[in-house]
Structure 1
Amino acid sequence: MVDAQLQRRASLSLVIGAAVWGLYWIPLREMNRLGIEGTWGVVFFNFCPLLVLLPLLIWRRVDLWTRPGPALFIGLMTGVAMGIYSTSMVIAPVIRVTMEFYLTAVWSTIIGVVWLSEKLDLRRVATVAAGLFGLFLLIAGASDAAHSAFGFGDVLALASGVLWAFGAAGMKRWPGENLLATSFHQFLFAVLAGAILAQMLFPGTNPSTTQLLSVFPMAFSGSAMFLLPSIMAIFWASRVLFPGRAAILMMSEALVATISATLLLPEETMTIMQWIGGAIVLLACLLGS
């Protein structure tokens, strides 16, 4: 009975946490509108949770150095994934990069076979085939009218899915790692990845102290009150649930992102072929679960 209750709590936590991610693009675009140019909003938004996590680590006397390997690996993979995924949301169509990120099911299948010695069966082959075919339709269906030509943002979205798949595999391989430590590393590497991309893609756009202070209330409240709890909920639930169930429940992000972007960003509409491709990508998530 206790296990069943734990499973239900983890499932609910994962659905809610992933759904929050579906709205993640909104504060990033809003900071951009308020003068934080390029992808510096990504850096600042992911930096704010560190202001909460660092005092908690000190208060709870969490040791980051005795056995840093697993937590560092999970944080590196998921943190860089978050940094480049966030960047792709700023520079590319929100709906499409969300679909591309969910090719994680394909990469997780490959990683499971190669790294975790899982059996390669027909279902896993179908997962890879469906995901790659969906990606082909997302790319081939692009049109100038939809402002969706394949570009660097799509590359970042795809790479973020690969890295997140490695991080998720690490969470399942080392479920005993301290949640505060892995979350701290995750946000730290997200900040570093975002800063590097901001310097590369938008040189000379470093925000001033005045600009940062003007958006600090929005960034801190949004990231510390919503993004940080959602990340910790996803990390915790991923240790409790079987990978298949977790993959299905995390699709709440794709649902929320698609609805919100369709309502608020009508200029980012996709072609019918791209919608079909996105649906096939989500089908690959189900196959891989």
Structure 2
Amino acid sequence: MPTPRTPQIENLAKLACVSCAVVWGLFWIPLRALDNAGIQAGWATVVFAVVPLIVLAPLLVVRWRYLFASGWSLQITGIFMGICFTFYANAFFYTDVIRVLLLFYMTMVWGTLLARVWLKEPITVSRVVSILLGFSGMFVILSVEPGIPLPANPGDWMALISGLAWAFAAVLMKKEEKTNAWDLSVCYFFWASIIALVIMVLPFFGQASAPEWPTVFSVLPWFVPVVLLLLIPSTLALTWGAPLLSPGVTGVLFLTEISVATIAASILTDEPFGIREITGVVLISLAGTAEFIASMFRPQRK
């Protein structure tokens, strides 16, 4: 049975996506810990995909009939989500952080345009305001001049493709919003694992040596709890909430990642957190708030 479409449910879906963005804003902490443990570059991305898949493996046994019955639409959505995650995570190893974020978060624009063309959703004033506020906050926090850089290296292209992949995934989730969140999460981790491994065996990307098994086992005592308490719940929140929202909205809400990462870095490292960072966080928060407020005045859909 599809989830009823009420303003309350829609706002709950937005909160679910924000919670996922919060977790991804802390992504760099376990990533740095994996690097310190000897699991470097793209192999850390492999660990982030494979370990959750192993944890969720029993679902493959229990729900394999449902997974096959869902057809290629479920698999294609999982593939786009897998491309989004692996390309985004690996892009940081091949280009500057600022360029990754600027190119990836073009997904706000791609998602809005795809929803207009594919789903016939209107481009509302509140959506335009949210996107402008979101980009403004991002430019302020990252301390760059307004504008999107043209892709100039493999990392740039991975970031751009990642944002496009998420826009397509969000549109597909919206189109097939009856899809079970557990099924989609399993497909996502399955395809993310395959894509992450393929990237690492390609001659161009496979620059880091594969970690030894003892190294991998040594991180599991703390990484498995991260998977159980943060990664899987946030993924379920995303795969439940995103299908209920416009693809452009999810892109705007994901900007929370930048705010959380900025605040966390200022607490855990020597990164500054002054007027510029506060202003950027406020602008990004206003971008998300604009979508919450707009939904309160939007006619209820059955």
TM-score, shorter chain, exceeding 0.5:
yes
The one-letter amino acid paired with 1:105 is: M
Retained in 1: the 8 A contact 2:105–2:251?
Answer: no
Does residue 56 (structure 1) correspond to residue 59 (structure 2)? The answer is yes
The one-letter amino acid paired with 2:52 is: P
Q: Give the number of equivalent residue pairs.
A: 280
SS of equivalent to 1:65: helix
Q: Please name the residue that 1:40 is paired with.
A: 43
With 90-99 and 251-260 compared, the bigger mean Cα shift is at 90-99
With 3-12 and 222-231 compared, the bigger mean Cα shift is at 3-12
Q: Please name the residue that 1:27 is paired with.
A: 30
Shift of 1:168: 0.2
1:178 maps to which of 180, 192, 210 = 180
1:159 maps to which of 143, 158, 161 = 161
Retained in 2: the 8 A contact 1:109–1:128?
Answer: no
Q: Distance in 2 between matches of 1:2 and 1:65?
A: 27
The one-letter amino acid paired with 2:221 is: P
* Change in CA separation of 1:18 and 1:117 when aligned onto 2, cut-off 3 Å: same
Retained in 2: the 8 A contact 1:99–1:281?
Answer: no
Does residue 255 (structure 1) correspond to residue 236 (structure 2)? The answer is no
Q: Please name the residue that 1:67 is paired with.
A: 70
* Change in CA separation of 1:150 and 1:215 when aligned onto 2, cut-off 3 Å: farther
* Change in CA separation of 1:93 and 1:221 when aligned onto 2, cut-off 3 Å: farther
Retained in 1: the 8 A contact 2:107–2:167?
Answer: yes
SS of equivalent to 1:221: helix
Q: Distance in 1 between matches of 2:98 and 2:223?
A: 22
Q: Distance in 1 between matches of 2:287 and 2:22?
A: 19
Shift of 1:278: 11
Shift of 1:225: 2.2
The one-letter amino acid paired with 2:238 is: I
Q: Please name the residue that 2:297 is paired with.
A: none
With 106-115 and 74-83 compared, the bigger mean Cα shift is at 106-115
Q: Distance in 1 between matches of 2:49 and 2:158?
A: 17
5 Å-filtered alignment, 1:254-273, equals: 254-264=258-268
Retained in 1: the 8 A contact 2:110–2:248?
Answer: no
Q: Please name the residue that 1:145 is paired with.
A: none
Shift of 1:59: 3.1
- How big is each residue's C-alpha offset from its partner over 1:102-127, in whole Å with a ceiling of 9 and x where there is no partner? 21111112322443345678998999
Shift of 1:34: 1.1
1:18 maps to which of 21, 31, 38 = 21
SS of equivalent to 1:220: helix
Shift of 1:178: 2.1
Q: Please name the residue that 1:189 is paired with.
A: 191
Normalised TM-score (structure 2): 0.74
Q: Distance in 2 between matches of 1:233 and 1:284?
A: 20
Q: Distance in 2 between matches of 1:38 and 1:79?
A: 17
Q: Distance in 2 between matches of 1:8 and 1:129?
A: 21
SS of equivalent to 1:257: helix
Shift of 1:176: 1.0
5 Å-filtered alignment, 1:134-149, equals: none
Retained in 1: the 8 A contact 2:45–2:90?
Answer: yes
The gaps in structure 2 that reach 5 residues or longer are 146-150, 295-302
Q: Distance in 2 between matches of 1:130 and 1:11?
A: 17
Normalised TM-score (structure 1): 0.77
Q: Please name the residue that 1:84 is paired with.
A: 87
With 186-195 and 243-252 compared, the bigger mean Cα shift is at 243-252
SS of equivalent to 1:64: helix
The one-letter amino acid paired with 2:226 is: G
